[in-house]
Amino acid sequence: MKISTIRKIISATGKYIVMIFLLAYMVLPLLWIFSSALRPVPEIFKYVHPLSWKTFIPQEITFDNISDLLFSENSLWPRYIFNTIFIGVVTTIFGTIINALAAYAFARLYLPGKQYLFFIILLTVIIPFEAIALPLYLVINNLGWIDSYQALIIPLLANAFNIFLLRQFFLGIPKELEEAALIDGANQLHVFTRIVVPLSWPALISSGLITLQQSWDMFIWPLIVTNTPKVRVIQIGISNLSGKDVTHWNEIFAAVAISALIPILIFLFFQKYYIENSATSGIKG
Amino acid sequence: MKLSKLKSREVAIGFGFVSPALILLIIFGLLPIVIATVISLFKVPLVNLSQREFIGLDNYIKAFQDSSLIKSFINTIYYTLWYVPIQTLFALILALLIQKPLRGVAFFRSGYYIPVVISTVVASVIWQIMLDSQSGLINSILNWVGIPQQPFLMSATQALPTLAVMMSWKWAGLSMIIFLAGLNNIPDELYEAGVIDGANSIQLFLHITVPQLKRQFVYVVVTNTVYAFKIFTPVYIITQGGPQESTLVIVYYIFREAFRYNRLGYSSAIAVLLTLLLIALSAIQLKAMKTDEN
């Protein structure tokens, strides 16, 4: 074999080794949690130290942790899961519609003072949510929305980042299609819904996934505006379980495993839209 | 007559499309910061808003003299100095590795992205369990390669950098995708020309790849910096500012002042200061990185 070929093989192998090592770093914590959730708790801690294959592979598989968490008599977890998914889906659907309409207006429609409106929207990106969480709490309190679904959905519907993203995409669609339809007498809303939207599904889905991720990941906001289990979300549920004096390890492992599994499955299903959306947002700068 | 009627109809349509988002963003995005600014001029307990007392800029003066607040500010900067380089470089390395069309690259790319989609709360709890100083998985792995047990989150010196490493694990995938898009946009001809000129791979990297990634680099660094300054969730869940106030960060401080110590006015003042700081920081960073461009 030629030396250059040997060199290539060595370099490719070396690369694979590094990649696998890094993959282990990224993924092992999750695999450990998943396998631990299926083990009796004493077994988990028995095999953590010293390190062996038994640390990761269950000796005895049990679904008790999960069933105790979800199906035990007064378990609030099915409620938490429902709340989180419900809030996520509603926010995503309505949020995407609202953001897309605004994005289209900025991309194509006539608006007096467009630059000023755009600037207002830009400001909301810069202002950290953590800074407005408190006064927002007061607004929500005043509206009587504490412990309600609205409080967790409505403030997050409109999102400047998504508006930018979708505007960028709409600008890239050839104008001729819309212009032709307008000349033929279609009104602007029809042009939007019948021509632009069908062409925009990848961007809309990507934008929707961003909204879904934000809604799912929310912590400080639900922490402040919810007090009772009524509309409590998974993230608060987990936070309540953890803490300095932890005794319900079985619940924690099961809760964390389920909470991690749901977004992972969604991600694996919608993979190509995640990759595309981050890509476009980075390039435009 | 007809022309202005047409125009006003256009305006109506334009505003019709943009209003829902605009109204929501103004009410839930901008109004709160105005409210925060107003509140910051008062001394007022969270539980009873009518017990307010106008004190002008006293809260701001107090903020600059508050040693705990100053500590939290320093902690936040320290955290940012750890987080931004680690996350950015890690993401860049990941992107470089999966950019070449080796077999199964998509599999690795998905794997590297997975920590991004699990929630910050979940990531915090998982790492808290793994980093336990006695029965933690990480210490177990370190022991296995001969490194002694580390206190990690129990140590005032290790806790903050540990959080930075944890959060960079969580978010590197996001920056990786951005770098990946940038890398894929570099025309092959540039590399071909470089190879013809006799450059080796390190030279190719430094003189072609790095400059071409400028835009992505600026975006990643600026957004990561802002994000680092806002850290809250891991501190709330794992450390609560400890040990010994070593992980006390600004947003946690704001939260604590309002919801534990009932000092709404003071908390709002700090929130306003944080907002101004982040605006200034982003502006400075953008300017500093743009002037290098030539």
Distance CA B95, CA B98 (A): 5
pTM: 0.90
Would you tell me which residues 111-170 of chain B have a C-beta closer than 8 angstroms to some C-beta of chain A?
Answer: 111-115, 117-122, 125-130, 135-137, 139-141, 143-144, 169
Q: How confident is the model at residue A246 (pLDDT cuts 50, 70, 90)?
A: low
CB of A128 less than 8 A from some CB of B: yes
Q: Which of A15, A21, A26 to mutate to test the interface with B (most CBs of B within 10 A)?
A: A26
What is the structure's pLDDT at A53? 85
CB of A131 less than 8 A from some CB of B: yes
Q: Which of A17, A12, A57, A13 is nearest to A39 (CA)?
A: A57
What is the structure's pLDDT at B76? 97
What is the structure's pLDDT at A285? 32
| pLDDT score of A104 more than 90 | yes
For chain B, the average pLDDT equals 90
Instruction: Flag if A274 and B232 touch (Cβ within 8 Å).
Output: no
Cβ–Cβ pairs < 8 A, chains A and B: 277
Instruction: Flag if B28 and A134 touch (Cβ within 8 Å).
Output: no
Instruction: Flag if B122 and A259 touch (Cβ within 8 Å).
Output: yes
Task: State which residue of chain B sits closest to A140, comparing Cα positions.
Answer: B28
| Element (DSSP H or E) covering residue B174 | helix B159-184
**A chain contacts of residue B229, beta-carbon cutoff 8 Å:** 128
Distance CA A221, CA A133 (A): 7
CB of B276 less than 8 A from some CB of A: no
CB of A263 less than 8 A from some CB of B: yes
CB of B204 less than 8 A from some CB of A: no
Percent of chain A with pLDDT over 70: 94
Which residues sit opposite B45 in a β-bridge? B263
Give Cβ neighbours of residue B46 (< 8 Å, ≥ 6 apart): B258, B259, B262, B263, B264
Q: Is the peptide bond before A50 cis (omega within 30 degrees of 0)?
A: yes
What is the structure's pLDDT at B225? 94
What is the structure's pLDDT at B228? 95
Residue ranges in chain B modelled with pLDDT below 70:
1-3, 291-294
Determine the 3-state secondary structure of A285 from DSSP: coil
Distance CA A124, CA A128 (A): 8
Mean pLDDT of A193-201: 91
* Spatial contact of A169 and A183, defined as CB atoms under 8 Å apart: no
Q: How far is CA B96 from CA B130, B172, B173, B191, in A?
A: 29, 13, 12, 15
Which residues sit opposite B43 in a β-bridge? B53
CB of B42 less than 8 A from some CB of A: no
| Element (DSSP H or E) covering residue B42 | strand B42-43
Q: Which of A130, A161, A192 to mutate to test the interface with B (most CBs of B within 10 A)?
A: A130
Which residues sit opposite B42 in a β-bridge? B54
| pLDDT score of A119 more than 90 | no
Distance (Å) from the alpha carbon of A81 to chain B's nearest alpha carbon: 14
**B chain contacts of residue A129, beta-carbon cutoff 8 Å:** 230
| pLDDT score of A245 more than 70 | no
B20, B179, B275 ranked by CB distance to A128: nearest: B275
| pLDDT score of A2 more than 80 | no
Instruction: Flag if A263 and B271 touch (Cβ within 8 Å).
Output: no
Instruction: Flag if B20 and A120 touch (Cβ within 8 Å).
Output: no
CB of A281 less than 8 A from some CB of B: yes
Give Cβ neighbours of residue B15 (< 8 Å, ≥ 6 apart): A105, A111
Q: Tell me the longest C-alpha to C-alpha distance in chain B.
A: 86
CB of A57 less than 8 A from some CB of B: no
Neighbours of A61 (CB within 10 A): 11
Complex ipTM: 0.90
CB of A18 less than 8 A from some CB of B: yes
DSSP string, B100-146: S--TTHHHHHHHHHHHHHS-HHHHHHHHHHHT-TTT-HHHHHHHHTT
What is the structure's pLDDT at A248? 83
What is the structure's pLDDT at A283? 40
pLDDT in tens, A158-195: 999 999 999 999 999 998 988 888 888 888 888 899 88
Report residue B45 as tokens: 């307990």
What is the structure's pLDDT at B268? 94
At B45, give phi and psi (nearest 5°): -80, 145
Instruction: Flag if A127 and B275 touch (Cβ within 8 Å).
Output: yes
For chain A, the average pLDDT equals 89
